[in-house]
Chain A
Amino acid sequence: MEKVTYNTNSDDYQICSLFAQSLTEVAVVYIARHIPSNTLVAYKKYDLDKMSAEDAELVQDEVILMRQLNHSAILPLLSSFVADHKVVCILPLMGYGSAADVMLRHFPTGLPEAAIATIMKAVLQALVYLHAKGIIHRAVRGSHTLISAEGNVVLSGLRYACPVISAGKWQRKMHSYPASIMAPNVNWLSPELLKQNLEGYDERSDIYSVGITACELANGIAPYQGVSKTLMLIEKVQGILRPLMDSSTYIPRVPIEGENGADMCQDDDDYSSIIANRTFSNAFHNVTELCLETQDHLRPVAKDLLTHAFFKNAAPPAALPRLLYPAMPILQDNLPDNQEDLESMMVCEKLYSLAIDPVSWDF
């Protein structure tokens, strides 16, 4: 196959459809057609003018870091350029979106175990590479694992990563805790990272996040949803796990007298019965427990974890589309039809740039 070069001319990309909006709403992802090669790409647009200088620097760091990484399980950056006051990153189109998207749309009670094995395996492979290069990812989570139409899984979200090599030395322990970086991912982070004490954290912190992500994808709920930050921290530090929910961990809810009946809605019952009737394999339970070990020095590193029986039997990426059915990837012929949203978005942008200018001087 001929290698396509993605140039930095914004006229070469035709925006077709709206794809996703990032968590913090600084970035919008469109599906665009690269006209010279007639291929679909993801067109991620950061509006720098709405960002503070520090946030803009994060975008810069992310772009520079992505350019220096080359691994099959890490989202590659095809091109990046400035158009008006926006920075555009051209990325390969990941047909299924993120694992968290697929889960929210099609698997409200969690992805099948086989799919999670394949996803986790790819994430760990990406982490082996990153850790060997001296980079801690710090934001492993369901929404940062993207799945292509062919079933390949890649890790994204490198905006939050930090290099271990600084001052010409390989730092054994990291201590940096930039609040703005951590805030959106706090529920996925490891206890030693959150504790912010002198002991610091190292690359094993990412393994803990892998464990949390596994629970997220298996249970169908974002971790610590609706739990206060303080309680979340206490639970993590004390090693109280929120385990994979299946028949082995399911505790039938005893109706308490005086409890408001409205709480026990139908959905809740459905969810409970699904949990009570499914059983995850022992290997899966074991692997998440290893990942969620509270003491970081007892937690395995990514390389060792990959030898675990759970990943030996993981299905190859090509099997992922079958496992994710009924979720369908976005391809050439089924672009999501959201022209109205797209148009309203474009109009908003136009209005913004038309803003009437109250001052006027002319020299």
Chain B
Amino acid sequence: MAKGKAGQSWLKGVRVCSIHPLSQECDSEKMPLFGKSQKSPAEVVKALKEAVNALERGDKKIEKAQDDVSKNLVLIKNMLYGTSDSEPQTDIIVAQLAQELYNSNLLLLLIQNLNRIDFEGKKDVAQVFNNILRRQIGTRSPTVEYICTKPEILFTLMNGYEHQEIALNCGTMLRECARYEALAKIMLHSDDFFNFFRYVEVSTFDIASDAFSTFKELLTRHKMLCAEFLELNYDKVFSHYQRLLNSENYVTRRQSLKLLGELLLDRHNFTVMTRYISNPDNLKLMMNMLKEKSRNIQFEAFHVFKVFESRQACGFPH
């Protein structure tokens, strides 16, 4: 028993130390647990911000700035996720870190300069972002609230699909954002959303597929929000969608047809579905797709086609 107690108070000591890492007394030699250079969140964030600024200015010492950015990103990532030998930091440290990130506006700065950060650093940015995004205090998600006040973050991320070298990193962050209704709403209702119709068709397969997963997530994750969006923007969305269904690219055609089936068969989208099937051109398109040589396209087209037929059987006006 006594041993356990001692162990506990020892742990407490560590926590106290890590909150006040500046106080000289409990430095590394006494508490070897956190390694030799335990910086406080404020220090790391400050150092990272300076390095990113230097990178943005594009001074002569660009390589040093890049190194500094990578190093500090790893520090932050290890605080949040831990490493194979150490656990993640305590909630208090993480809270401090998050607060520093909000106050310094660093998330936006990192995303804006993502293409200047080195290969591994880009992935670290995404991992730090995704972890901070999931932070919860009770039922509140403070990072989501923060991003709502800074929608530029989302727009910059969506724009990331324009640049090959950061597209996939932005994709992982965007899908994480799309999990939150408030953020999905901002993205759906922005003009940039319609760029996705272009992104899903780019010639590079990996980027196109990644963009499609994000696109699908935005259109299916929050049923009520999506139904409302589709009803409100029916003409614009489906005229763009038509282009995907007629795409030269087999993968785009197959994926968009499958998604169309899912959207029409979702009962939340009832109004959209009735509107879609009341247009004879859509029926023609599906019947032509049934003739496609590809069995998978035929199969997916059949799923959409059956919606037309079952409605007709119910005596729905055509």
Contact = CB atoms under 8 A, between A and B. Distances in A.
Interface hub of B205, B210, B291 (most chain A Cβ within 10 A) = B205
Given A48-B251, A82-B250, A70 B120 contact: yes
Interface residues of A, number: 40
A9 B205 CA distance: 12
Contacts of B134: 167-168
A267 interface: no
B33 to A, nearest CB: 18
A64 B249 CA distance: 18
Given A64-B209, A132-B84, A49 B123 contact: no
A279 interface: no
B148 to A, nearest CB: 19
Interface string B49-90: 000000000000000000000000000000001101000100
Interface in B271-318: 284, 287-288, 290-291, 293-296
A133 B291 contact: no
Given A132-B84, A165-B127, A80 B205 contact: yes
Nearest to A167: B134
A4 to B, nearest CB: 16
Given A8-B204, A63-B206, A170 B258 contact: no
Contact of A85 (B119, B169, B205, B294): B294
A87 interface: yes
Contact of A67 (B168, B284, B291, B295): B168
B203 interface: yes
Given A64-B209, A82-B250, A82-B251, A170 B81 contact: yes
A357 to B, nearest CB: 6
Contacts of A167: 134
Contacts of B119: 70
B251 A64 contact: no
Contacts of A53: 258, 296
A301 B84 CA distance: 10
Interface string B179-205: 000000000000000000000000111
Interface string A43-79: 0000011000100000010011001101000000101
B166 to A, nearest CB: 11
A357 B293 contact: yes
Given A49-B295, A170-B82, A84 B203 contact: no
A168 to B, nearest CB: 4
B263 interface: no
A80 B206 contact: yes
Nearest to B204: A8
B99 interface: no
A8 B203 contact: yes
B220 to A, nearest CB: 15
Contacts of B81: 134, 165, 169-170
Contacts of A266: none
A99 B63 CA distance: 39
Interface in A110-146: 131-134
A81 interface: yes
B28 interface: no
Contacts of A133: 123
A169 B130 CA distance: 9
B131 interface: yes
19 contacts: A8-B204, A63-B205, A68-B168, A70-B119, A70-B120, A81-B203, A82-B205, A82-B208, A82-B249, A82-B252, A86-B250, A88-B205, A134-B81, A168-B133, A169-B81, A357-B291, A359-B291, A360-B291, A363-B284
